Amino acid sequence: MDGSTVEKIIKEIEQFAPANVSAHVGRVTAVGDGVVAIDGLSKALMSEVVLFEEHKGKKLLDAMHPPAGGRSELYGLILNLEEDGVRATILGDTARVSEGMTVKSTGRILSVPAGDEMLGRVVNALGEPIDGKGPFTETTMMPVERQAAGVIDRKGVSVPLQTGIKAIDAMIPIGRGQRELIIGDRGTGKTTVAIDAIINQLSETPEKRPICIYVAIGQKESKTARITELLRERGALEYTIIVDAPASAPAALQFLAPYAGVAIGEYFMDKGKDVLIIYDDLSKQATAYRQLSLLLRRPPGREAYPGDIFYLHSRLLERACRLNEEKGGGSITALPIIETQEGDVSGYIPTNVISITDGQMFLISDLFNKGIRPAIDVGISVSRVGSAAQTKAMKSVAGGIKLELAQFRELEAFMQFASDLDKETADRIETGRRMVEVLKQKNGEPIPVEKQVAAIYAANQTFFREVPVSKVTDIERQFVEFLDRQYKKVLDSIKTSGQLSDDSKKALDKAMKEFKAAHGELFSIKV
Amino acid sequence: MEKAYAQALWKMITDGMPPKKAVHALHDLLKAHGRVELMSRVGKALVRIAERASRRTDVVVSVAREQDERKAQIQAKEVLKELGMEAKDLKTQVDDTLIGGWRLEGKEHLVDASYKKYLLDMYNRVTT
């Protein structure tokens, strides 16, 4: 025992003053599958945290040491108030609870710690660090359930949140404070889009860079570990917090994780900062909540989900907002993810979340398998409020792309049956093919907005018309690198002003000519 | 169904109706509805309700050693008085894991004045 511990013990003994404090208690009458029935606790509140008294009947030495790997104290969360008792879910190991155990009321609603020192850390759904880097010292407790900001406290979405993905920033722009759903089958790149959005925040200045929160719900631990490592490698972990409720965690923690994540986000929003939060994914949260509800004997509804499944997601996503200046001007941008089965977006949970969010981006297996990545179907993807937040520069170049691509897709389908095409149709198809190539992007390689603008401007000016389709992506990358070397001032001007001025356009035209002259062999198709 | 009948029976009895009369009244009602077979299950449900009620009304004082019983009872009664609860029918039991002091539990209240509790609190404060 070291000297400081001895000093602490001496201080404790000197200050010892026994106090007989009465606690409001109940008794466990039944326990199973993470849910307990408690007799008593007649004054308990809904969503109140209760403490299971494990040391009753145990010797002092045994009581001092919690079970291996377990927390020192075992808590529960009251979810049902009934006529002759309450039902609660165990926020930990069910095996530690036994029938007859005394349960103490704490009088407090579930809260999680939040603070600046959580940045770069991995925490569980209760906000406790699980990355082995030690406990937090200075945190503020934030309520897990909080009323979303009211109409008066809000401000319209007008500041862009750049994801670094051309297809999104150009056609489905996201604003700070928006809720944009990422929806698609498994293995279509939903998580990749979200992680790229986090990595891209590196291109923002530290003052404008949002705090990122990645909430992993029901995911494999290996996937979360891989994401953590990727973010660390790319230098993005220092402004990111990972809330992890893996598939092995109790259903209660998987249900709570998104609320814990947004509670941490609200801490930063209240300080006037911007926050980007990713819920990966809400389908698994809904499944966990269904499990809990059935165990709590709540009446099942459609697909056995409880009646309040819509409220589960609406109250979570309503907490994403942009506050007005009086409230600090902070914001929470939410990117919830929903996994569909066989591309069926008309399922119960997908339609619920589609109706709650301010837009959706659909990721399609067919596009993914064709090598179009990100596999976003721009024809059916929308952003209802994001266009107000798009920079003028991007608006000026991306205006017609969506329509052009939609027409291309129709013509492409028609082309499979037609042998002869008139010149206009053939040109449109060739342009469409090249635009699709320009919008392709490798994962983990987000592109700053000014470079996106330059690349799309070049595509609009038919810069890639003489380039074989298979080489467009490569040449576009080379052209952007060339701009970065030779025309940095133009890119900086687009970035700082957010506009594509006539001077910038002239400079880009000049750059295109120079690049073409220097790399004539790449432009091999004669028009 | 039997739970609802048992609760009604329990309420009649606790409201002052003689138990025999209440049971007869219930029996007649069930007979009139053709549900007299429920009677045995109502009895079992009533026992469970009575057990739960007893758990809610019993107050138990635990002490570490038998010789501490008297002192603990006096202190516990004072605490109960402060809480506005009656101190009748105070049951006592010995729990040697308490080390010393006493622990009072009942009527949805818990007052832990055992040495074990004080030492555990101290341990938690020192080690965290």
Q: Who's near A419: CB < 8 A, 6+ residues apart?
A: none
The answer to whether residue A3 neighbours chain B at the CB level (below 8 Å) is no
Q: Where are the alpha helices (DSSP H) in A151-281?
A: 166-171, 190-200, 221-233, 251-270
Please report the pLDDT score of residue B107 as a whole number: 83
In the structure encoding, which two tokens stand for residue A288, read together? 């966990």
Residue A111 CA: distances (Å) to CA of A106, A256, A264 = 12, 11, 10
Beta-strand pair B109-114/A122-123: unpaired
Range in A18-32, A34-48, B14-28 the model is least confident about: A18-32
pTM assigned to the model: 0.88
Fold of A117-132+154-390: Rossmann fold (3.40.50)
In the structure encoding, which two tokens stand for residue A519, read together? 């790399």
Instruction: Using pLDDT thresholds of 50, 70 and 90, give the confidence band for residue A70.
Output: low
Please report the pLDDT score of residue B59 as a whole number: 86
Residue percentage of chain A with pLDDT more than 90: 76
Please report the pLDDT score of residue A259 as a whole number: 98
Please tell me what DSSP assigns to residue A99: T
Please report the pLDDT score of residue A4 as a whole number: 79
Written in H, E and C, the secondary structure of B75-128 is HHHHHHHHCCCCCCCEEEEECHHHCCEEEEEECCEEEEEEHHHHHHHHHHHHHC
Q: How far apart are CA A248 and CA A125, in angstroms?
A: 13
Q: pLDDT, tens digit, for every residue of B36-86? A: 899 999 999 999 888 877 777 788 899 999 888 888 888 888 888 888 877
Domain definitions of chain A by residue range: 22-110, 117-132+154-390, 397-522
- Mean pLDDT for A439-459 is 93
CB distance A432 to A411 below 8 Å: yes
- Mean pLDDT for A115-128 is 95
Dihedral, A381, A385, A391, A392 alpha carbons, nearest 10 = 90
Instruction: Using pLDDT thresholds of 50, 70 and 90, give the confidence band for residue A418.
Output: low
- The pair phi, psi for residue A181, each rounded to 5°, is -80, 140
Range in A305-314, B26-35, B78-87 the model is least confident about: B78-87
Q: Is A52 helix (H, G, I), strand (E, B) or coil?
A: strand
Instruction: Using pLDDT thresholds of 50, 70 and 90, give the confidence band for residue A61.
Output: confident
Task: Give the A:B interface size as CB pairs under 8 Å.
Answer: 68
Please report the pLDDT score of residue A10 as a whole number: 84
Please report the pLDDT score of residue A407 as a whole number: 86
Please tell me what DSSP assigns to residue A448: -
Instruction: Using pLDDT thresholds of 50, 70 and 90, give the confidence band for residue A62.
Output: confident
The answer to whether residue B99 neighbours chain A at the CB level (below 8 Å) is yes
- Could you tell me if residue A498 is left (phi over 0), alpha (psi between -120 and 50 degrees) or otherwise beta? left
Options 3.40.640.10, 2.40.30.20, 3.40.50.720, 2.60.120.260; CATH for A22-110 is 2.40.30.20
Instruction: Using pLDDT thresholds of 50, 70 and 90, give the confidence band for residue A184.
Output: very high
In the predicted model, is pLDDT for residue A71 greater than 60?
A: no
> What does pLDDT average to over chain A?
92
In the structure encoding, which two tokens stand for residue A408, read together? 């291309």
Range in A54-63, A156-165, A210-219, A227-236 the model is least confident about: A54-63
Q: How far apart are CA A316 and CA A265, in angstroms?
A: 12
Please report the pLDDT score of residue A324 as a whole number: 96
Please report the pLDDT score of residue A22 as a whole number: 86
Q: How far apart are CA A73 and CA A347, in angstroms?
A: 40
- Mean pLDDT for A130-154 is 94
Q: How many residues are present in chain B?
A: 128
The answer to whether residue A65 neighbours chain B at the CB level (below 8 Å) is no
Question: Is the complex ipTM higher than 0.85?
Answer: no
In the predicted model, is pLDDT for residue A152 greater than 60?
A: yes
Q: pLDDT, tens digit, for every residue of A464-507? A: 999 999 999 999 999 999 999 999 999 999 999 999 999 999 99
Instruction: Using pLDDT thresholds of 50, 70 and 90, give the confidence band for residue A68.
Output: low
- Pick from A9, A63, A84: which is nearest to B116 by CB? A63
Is A202 or A520 the better-scoring residue by pLDDT?
A202
- Of B48, B56, B57, nearest to B3 by C-alpha is B48
Q: Is A420 helix (H, G, I), strand (E, B) or coil?
A: coil
Q: How far apart are CA A139 and CA A315, in angstroms?
A: 25
Q: Using the beta-carbon criterion (under 8 Å), do B108 and A58 form an inter-chain contact?
A: no
In the structure encoding, which two tokens stand for residue B109, read together? 């209240």
Please report the pLDDT score of residue A221 as a whole number: 95
Please report the pLDDT score of residue A58 as a whole number: 84
In the structure encoding, which two tokens stand for residue A265, read together? 């986000």
- Mean pLDDT for A161-190 is 95
The answer to whether residue B118 neighbours chain A at the CB level (below 8 Å) is yes
List the single residue in A with minimal CA-CA distance to B84.
A22
Please report the pLDDT score of residue A1 as a whole number: 66
The answer to whether residue B123 neighbours chain A at the CB level (below 8 Å) is yes
- Of A527, A431, A512, A443, nearest to A476 by C-alpha is A512
- Mean pLDDT for A425-440 is 90
Q: How far apart are CA A244 and CA A216, in angstroms?
A: 5
Please report the pLDDT score of residue A66 as a whole number: 66
Is B84 or A159 the better-scoring residue by pLDDT?
A159
Please report the pLDDT score of residue A527 as a whole number: 60
Q: Using the beta-carbon criterion (under 8 Å), do A104 and B110 form an inter-chain contact?
A: yes
Q: How far apart are CA B21 and CA B10, in angstroms?
A: 12
List the single residue in B with minimal CA-CA distance to A40.
B108
Q: How far apart are CA B31 and CA A508, in angstroms?
A: 95
Catalytic residue status for A290: no
Q: pLDDT, tens digit, for every residue of A330-376? A: 999 999 999 999 999 999 999 999 999 999 999 999 999 999 999 99
Please report the pLDDT score of residue A67 as a whole number: 63
The answer to whether residue A15 neighbours chain B at the CB level (below 8 Å) is no
Instruction: Let me know if domain A397-522 sits in CATH 1.20.150.20.
Output: yes
Residue percentage of chain B with pLDDT more than 70: 98
Q: Who's near A477: CB < 8 A, 6+ residues apart?
A: none
Chain A positions touching B79 (Cβ under 8 A) are: 20, 22
In the structure encoding, which two tokens stand for residue A497, read together? 């002003």
Q: How far apart are CA B11 and CA A246, in angstroms?
A: 48
Q: How far apart are CA B31 and CA A128, in angstroms?
A: 60
Q: Using the beta-carbon criterion (under 8 Å), do B126 and A55 form an inter-chain contact?
A: no
Beta carbons within 10 angstroms of residue A501's beta carbon: 15
Chain A contacts in chain B segment 1-30 (CB below 8 A): none
In the structure encoding, which two tokens stand for residue A313, read together? 């997601």
